[in-house]
Amino acid sequence: MTRMMTGLTVCVAVVGALAAGYWLGQQRAAAPMMAAAPAATAMVPAVAAERRIAFYQHADGKPEYSPTPKQDEQGRAFVPVYEEAETPAAPTTETASRGQGRILYYRHPMGLPDTSSTPKKDSMGMDYIAVYENEQADDGNTVTVSVDRVQRLGVRTETVMRRNLMQAVRAVGTVQIDERRQVIVTTKFDGFIERLHVNTTGQPVRRGQVLMEIYSPELVQAQQEYLVAADALRDLGGAGDDTRLLAQRLVDGAIQRLHNWDMPEDDISRLRRERAASRRIGVRAPASGVIVDKKAVEGMRIMAGEPLYRIVDLSQMWVLADVFEQDLALVAPGQAAQIEIKAYPGRPFAGKVAFIYPHIERETRTAKVRIELANPDLALKADMYASVELAAPVGAAALAVPESAVLDSGTRQIVLIERGAGRFEPRLVRLGAKGGGYIEVLDGIAADERVVVSANFLIDAESNLRAALRAFTAPDSQEAPK
């Protein structure tokens, strides 16, 4: 028993000696580090005094930021980012050299009144936009955007000047035959068609061309009466003057009867020359054009006044357009019209307003407007569908700007006036009539000023435009022009 107690005491002593040696070694190794610790501690206030923490960023570099110390989902502390350090939204050396300056804050990408001192995303995941030092308004009514950014945005301006505004009146219509350029072929005597020379619809004919040959007993009898009268006049060579005068009247009466029945002059001359009646008489075309309706058939019996052909000159056509009642005041005879035909896309036809019909269609509240246009190649066909655009002048010359230059909020209209060097002044305006892509400005701008006509919404997004507009809504500001 005494021997066991002695062995246990020796073991405890050995373990205690080993532990004391390990503790002493650790103290000697830590001594240099503890000696250097005061120096490091002394540097922290100096660094903190020179570098101020701007915000805290996710430890993995993700685009997640916090203005105060924070831990991620794994319990790791966010990394502090100092003002002098580069941040994802901080200006690079190239940006600073362009004169953008120091970032003041970040604002909502959709222009909402929400700002942040650190980079941030909105509810849709869009990055907030950095607002730089020199992009603030120079005064209460001017916004400034760097020249480099103005170029990147593609900003274009245009000079304000007086223009004759033209308002487009649009209508639909159909192509129709010119009523004044069609004729009906008929006869003034009864007869029979013995030979048909023009026997198809759509066949072109020229004035004086023989359409058909007709046998008419009445016409043959009239020719024979002329021959008898002419022979009697010739046989009265030694008769008295009264007798010869009576015979001459009979001859003239027979010729006049042939003229009244529209016997061609060539056939009358042949009758006088050959002194023989013709059995068949040719019916000639009274005008040049196209046969659009043919009722004549070879061998048929015809009656006086019966329509046999309808000939139409298609070198000029009409377009009957349906113009809405509210647009009639802008339409007048002689007005130019631009016409597009569905069958010929990309080929415009030019015409002029010739007549405005004196009634309104009760069902459609439209009026017929007749437009005349040339058709030299006969491309236009009757009943084709047409789109019509009439250029209607809107009053006298007036100051006008492109419609794209106007920022319209619904309650007020604003244009951006260029002031040079990336400076723009928002200006309230009062607008008038529109026409041809331009809009009349009744008040708010002067001639020769330059307005922004493109990228003006981007200027709104890239600058603090709302801050510049506060002057228009301040209690002591003037009201918008009326």
Ranges of beta strands (E only) in 166-297 are 166-177, 182-185, 191-196, 204-205, 210-215, 280-284, 289-294
Average pLDDT over residues 79-89: 57
pLDDT of residue 190: 94
pLDDT of residue 474: 46
Given a contact cutoff of 8 angstroms between Cβ atoms, the answer to whether 327 and 380 are in contact is no
Average pLDDT over residues 255-272: 89
d(CA 1, CA 127): 83
Q: 366: which strand partners?
A: 324, 361
pLDDT of residue 26: 47
Whether the pLDDT of residue 4 is over 50: the answer is no
Higher pLDDT pick, 337 / 457? 337
pLDDT of residue 194: 94
Most confident of 72-81, 140-149, 184-193, 436-445: 184-193
pLDDT of residue 480: 44
pLDDT of residue 45: 43
d(CA 465, CA 336): 44
pLDDT of residue 107: 72
Tens-digit pLDDT profile for residues 38-51: 443 344 444 444 56
Token representation of residue 374: 């040339």
pLDDT of residue 454: 79
pLDDT of residue 359: 93
Strands 316-324 and 366-374: antiparallel
Which residues fall within 8 angstroms of residue 354, CB to CB, at 6 or more apart? 318, 333, 370, 371, 372
pLDDT of residue 110: 59
Which residues fall within 8 angstroms of residue 315, CB to CB, at 6 or more apart? 181, 374, 375, 376, 378
pTM > 0.75: yes or no:
no
d(CA 18, CA 297): 139
Give, for 37, the enclosing helix (H) or strand (E).
helix 2-50
Average pLDDT over residues 292-304: 94
pLDDT of residue 29: 45
d(CA 345, CA 184): 34
What rounded mean pLDDT belongs to the chain? Answer: 78
Out of 29-43, 238-252, 413-427, pick the least confident.
Answer: 29-43
Using 50, 70 and 90 to split pLDDT, how confident is the model at 389? very high
